[in-house]
Amino acid sequence: MKKYKNPKPERLTDESVFFARRRFVKSLGLGIAGSVGVVAAGRHWLKTPLNLRPKIKTFAESKVFANGGRRLTDQEDFLRFNNFYEFAQDKTSVIRKSKDFQIDPYSLVIDGLVDQPIKIDIEDIERKSLEERIYRFRCVETWAMTVPWIGVPLNELLKMVRIQPNARYVEMISFSDQTQAPRQGTSAYPWPYTEGLTIEEAMNPLSFVAIGAYGRYLHPQNGAPLRIVLPWKYGFKGPKSVVRITLTASRPRTFWNEIQPSEYGFFGNVDPDVPHPRWSQRNETLLGTWGKQQKTQKYNGYGEWVADLYYGTEV
Ligand code: MTE
């Protein structure tokens, strides 16, 4: 089994800061939530078996996104190093704590300001002909990876519902189930994990709905059975285990933005020139290459696809 060095990425927010701030805020009578942290890795994860999920039988390699421009991240790194706050605050115990997680029966609802709301399952998505896309991925904490996702463009699903003209945003909501994810019982976070996009961002050809990666169905720790992947944005903008997508007229509340608006903007576009208040965003470290850094690119290098979404906008 692969040996890991305990990685030292930046942290979303330290838990002690969060609780201190929460007490302070409470004393002011404001009651807003604060934040999180990475606890040192235990030893258990070394023993957690990978429990590989079945292979996806039919999918086509994308012609446009067949190459991430750098080496693929090892599948084992992808499976063992995760952010999934419903299960853990640290990265390396998510694989163990989420191993039995299952949304069963699973369906994805797309509703809100649409003429034809739908409820679909993974088989409905598979019937749409799956594509494998290799995307670069950049977490706001400065770690990065390169992943072969399998899925369909988000706009294919949105075209099914006939969006009404007054819809301006897409709200994406992760699962809610305290019996499987007891951390959702804490009021420290604004559960369920929710993210949002403008309609134009959601319809952009890069926005992707993944049901698999590395040729296999998604594993629980990576957001099974379905997650959103937005390669030009920081990873927190892509919710895992999504059960509902709602079209709205006003900007939806989003998880990290609600916790810490000064640190996590609504747009969350990758930008080396805009530092996080607690660290620089100029460089990043690819999973599996701890100690080495490389330069971060604006929009994670996907500017030709998305820059025109933001001309003249402060993001
Ligand atoms: N989605 C949910 N529901 N819960 C989460 O905690 N974390 C986000 C994103 N989606 C998160 C989530 C963050 S901060 C990152 S970097 C990525 O998932 C991590 O994805 P990975 O564990 O597959 O690398």
Residue nearest to atom 10 of ligand 1 (CA): 239
Residue nearest to atom 5 of ligand 1 (CA): 84
Ligand 1 pocket residues where CB is under 6 Å: 82-86, 139, 174, 193, 222, 235-236, 238-241
Best residue for ligand 1 mutational test, from 83, 91, 285 (most atoms within 8 Å of Cβ):
83
Closest atom, ligand 1, to C-alpha of 175: 3
Can you give the pLDDT at residue 129? 93
Assign 9 a pLDDT band (cuts: 50, 70, 90): low
176 CA to centre of ligand 1 in angstroms: 15
> CB under 8 Å to 148, separation ≥6 — which residues?
72, 132, 133, 134, 213, 214, 215
Distance separating alpha carbons of residues 197 and 247, to the nearest angstrom: 10
Can you give the pLDDT at residue 271? 98
Can you give the pLDDT at residue 312? 80
Assign 165 a pLDDT band (cuts: 50, 70, 90): very high
Closest atom, ligand 1, to C-alpha of 12: 14
236 CA to centre of ligand 1 in angstroms: 6
Helix (H) / strand (E) containing 195 = strand 194-198
Pairing status of strand 108-112 against strand 242-248: parallel
Assign 12 a pLDDT band (cuts: 50, 70, 90): low
152 CA to centre of ligand 1 in angstroms: 19
Best residue for ligand 1 mutational test, from 11, 172, 240, 300 (most atoms within 8 Å of Cβ):
240
Indicate whether 17 pLDDT > 80.
Answer: no
Cα separations in angstroms, 133 against 30, 64, 83, 212: 44, 8, 21, 10
Each residue's pLDDT tens digit, 27-58 = 323 222 233 333 334 444 457 999 999 999 99
Phi, psi of 269 (to 5 degrees): -75, 140
29 CA to centre of ligand 1 in angstroms: 30
> CB under 8 Å to 126, separation ≥6 — which residues?
56, 58, 211
Best residue for ligand 1 mutational test, from 135, 236, 243, 260 (most atoms within 8 Å of Cβ):
236
Residue nearest to atom 4 of ligand 1 (CA): 84
202 CA to centre of ligand 1 in angstroms: 18
| 16: number of Cβ within 10 Å | 10
Rounded percentage of the chain residues whose pLDDT exceeds 90:
83
Average pLDDT score, the chain: 88
221 CA to centre of ligand 1 in angstroms: 9
Residue nearest to atom 22 of ligand 1 (CA): 82
Closest atom, ligand 1, to C-alpha of 85: 6
Indicate whether 127 pLDDT > 90.
Answer: yes
Of the candidates 274, 189, 184, 289, the one whose C-alpha atom is nearest the C-alpha of residue 234 is 274
Phi, psi of 132 (to 5 degrees): -100, 125
Can you give the pLDDT at residue 33? 28
SS3 189: coil
As a whole number, mean pLDDT of residues 56-74 equals 97
- Which sign does the torsion angle of CA 165, 203, 160, 235 carry? negative
